[in-house]
Homo-oligomer: A and B are copies of this chain.
Amino acid sequence: MVDSMAKNAPLSRSREDYLAHIYRIQAVGHNVNTGEVAQHLGVTPASTSAMFKRLAQEGLVNYKSYSGVSLTEEGERAASHVVRRHRVIERFLTDILGIGWERVDEFANRMEHAMPDEVLEAIERLLGGPDTCPHGYPIPSEEGKLAVATGQPVEALVAGEWAVIRHVDESDTELLRHLRERGLVPGTLLQVAETNLIDGTRTLRIGDSTLVVGQRIARALFVDRVVDDA
């Protein structure tokens, strides 16, 4: 909007971090509020407010005091490039280097700002054009449209329903290790055998085996329902 922006000056590391996080929140359909962004980025709400103002001035977000932000078209393009880099790097780390999926988010956070486009493209070719990150989130296209993640938490299913894991919450390292060890990864088909509404646990059937998972897992696993054709 405001044309005070230098043509294509690269965004600062900090701006990239803010934009990418805003993007991720918008991609799951939530409102973006200051405190949440501040907490995720490990800064104070005051710093976040200040950055929102700067980003708004540069035409990257729409911002009105006390009512949150949203990405402008330009902001969405910029943010999606960062998220794209992040997710391709994660894929690279797991698929080529064999690093555990519970650690790649952190590593990608550091690497995503310093990855030249040409290098990213070469990595994508090597990977054969992956569609999702290891945790199941879609890799945004080059064009930079918001890539919306479908799926709802296992928590929302009732006993008897079938579903496929789409993506898993990647913020908790311990949990991720847990999930991997139990085969709870994107693409896995499962059935909710039983729901215990008192303690929040779910009994899941996966292939021939049965698994009882607590509420934390039931909230971290995002699935799409599958109609049972059997």
Give residues in A with beta carbon < 8 Å to B.
Answer: 93, 96-99, 103, 106-107, 110-111, 113-116, 118-119, 122-123, 126
Contact = CB atoms under 8 A, between A and B. Distances in A.
Main secondary structure of the interface of A (DSSP, over half): helix
How many copies of this chain?
A: 2
A96 B96 CA distance: 10
Which of A98, A103, A118, A123 has the most chain B CB within a 10 Å cutoff?
A: A118
Given A97-B122, A123-B97, A111 B114 contact: yes
A224 to B, nearest CB: 32
A111 B122 CA distance: 15
B107 A111 contact: no
5 contacts: A99-B119, A107-B119, A110-B116, A111-B114, A111-B115
A12 B197 CA distance: 51
